[in-house]
A and B are shown apart, each in its own frame.
Chain A
Amino acid sequence: MKKLKKLIIYCLIVGSSFSYFVIKKWPDKSIQITFCDVGQGDSILIQQDFFQVLIDSGRDERVLGCLGQILPPWDRKIEVMILTHGDEDHLGFFGKIMGIYDTQFIFSPDTPKDTKAIREVKEAIAAKLTRGASLKQPILGQSISFPSGGVVTFLSLPSEPTEELTENDRSIVFLLEQGGTKWLFTGDLEAGGELKLLKLGLFPQVEVLKVGHHGSKTSSTQEFLQVLQPNLAIVSVGANNKYGHPADEVLDNLRHTGSVILRTDRLGDITLSVDGEQIVVNRTQRRE
Chain B
Amino acid sequence: MAVKMTSNQRQLISLITILILIAIFILIYFFTLILIHHKLATNKSRNQAKIISIPNYFDLVCNNQPNLIKNQICSLVEAPIGENFGNQVRSPAKQIFTVKILINQVKDYLKTNLYLLKFRFFGLKNSLEEYQTKKSEALLLWHQQDYLQFMNGLVLGQKSPQASFLPAFTNAGLLHVLVASGFNVALVGGLAWKMTKKISRIGQLAIVFLAVWGYVIYLEFEPPLLRAAWMFSLVLGLKYLGLRTNRINILACSVALILVFKPDLIDSLSLWLSALATLGIMVFSRRLFMFWSEQPRLAGGILGRLGSTLLEEGEVSLAAQALIFPVLAWYFHSANFVSFLANPLLLPWLGTITQLSGLQFFLSLVSQFWPLRLASWWLAQILNQFFAWYFAAVAWWQKFYFLNYALNGDSTKLVIAGWIGVISLVWLITRTKQETKNHFFHEKT
Contact = CB atoms under 8 A, between A and B. Distances in A.
Interface of A: 17-18, 21, 61, 64-65, 67-68, 71, 73-74, 76, 96, 99-100, 287-288
B141 interface: yes
Q: What 5 pairs across the A-B complex have the smallest Cβ distances?
A: A68-B141, A73-B377, A64-B140, A68-B142, A64-B141
A67 B138 CA distance: 11
Contacts of A71: 141
B381 interface: yes
A21 B377 CA distance: 9
A73 B134 contact: no
A27 to B, nearest CB: 15
Nearest to B140: A64
B32 interface: no
A198 B18 CA distance: 88
Contacts of A74: 370, 373-374
A230 B374 CA distance: 40
B125 to A, nearest CB: 21
Contacts of A18: 378
Nearest to B142: A68
B144 A288 contact: yes
A100 B141 contact: yes
Interface in B365-399: 370, 373-374, 376-378, 381-382
Interface in B190-218: none
B134 A99 contact: yes
Given A17-B382, A73-B374, A65 B146 contact: no
Given A21-B378, A21-B381, A73 B137 contact: no
Interface string B139-166: 0111011100000000000000000100
B370 A64 contact: no
- Measured as residues with beta carbon below 8 angstroms from the partner, the interface class of chain B is 10 to 19
Contacts of A287: 144
Given A73-B377, A74-B373, A288 B137 contact: no
Contacts of B140: 61, 64-65, 68
Nearest to A288: B144
Interface string B280-292: 0000000000000
Nearest to B136: A61
Given A71-B141, A73-B376, A74-B373, 5 more contacts: A18-B378, A61-B140, A65-B144, A73-B374, A100-B141
Contacts of A68: 140-142
26 contacts: A17-B378, A17-B382, A18-B378, A21-B377, A64-B141, A65-B144, A65-B145, A67-B141, A68-B142, A71-B141, A73-B142, A73-B373, A73-B376, A73-B377, A74-B370, A74-B373, A74-B374, A76-B370, A76-B373, A100-B137, A100-B138, A100-B141, A287-B144, A288-B144, A288-B146, A288-B164
A50 B61 CA distance: 75
Contacts of B377: 21, 73
B142 A61 contact: no
Nearest to B371: A74
Nearest to A73: B377
A65 B139 CA distance: 9
Nearest to B146: A288
A157 B314 CA distance: 69
A17 B382 CA distance: 9
A18 B142 CA distance: 15
Contacts of A288: 144-146, 164
Contact of A96 (B137, B145, B146, B373): B137
A21 B385 CA distance: 13
B386 to A, nearest CB: 13
Contacts of A67: 141
A265 B370 CA distance: 34
Contacts of B141: 64-65, 67-68, 71, 73, 100
Contacts of B373: 73-74, 76
Given A73-B142, A288-B145, A61 B137 contact: yes
A2 B236 CA distance: 35
Contacts of A96: 137
A68 B138 CA distance: 9
Interface string B212-248: 0000000000000000000000000000000000000
A193 B338 CA distance: 61
Nearest to B378: A18
A64 B135 CA distance: 12
A111 B300 CA distance: 71
Nearest to A71: B141
A24 to B, nearest CB: 9
Candidate in B145, B164, B373, B376 with the most chain A CB atoms within 10 angstroms: B145
A69 B431 CA distance: 58
A150 B142 CA distance: 29
Contacts of A100: 137-138, 141
Nearest to B145: A288
A175 B268 CA distance: 63
A38 to B, nearest CB: 12
Contacts of B376: 73
A17 B380 CA distance: 12
A222 B167 CA distance: 48
Contacts of A64: 137-138, 140-141
A183 to B, nearest CB: 26
A173 B374 CA distance: 36
Interface string B327-367: 00000000000000000000000000000000000000000
Contacts of B142: 68, 73
Contacts of A99: 134
A67 B140 CA distance: 9
Contacts of A21: 377-378, 381
Contacts of B164: 288
Contacts of B382: 17
A280 to B, nearest CB: 25
A136 B378 CA distance: 36
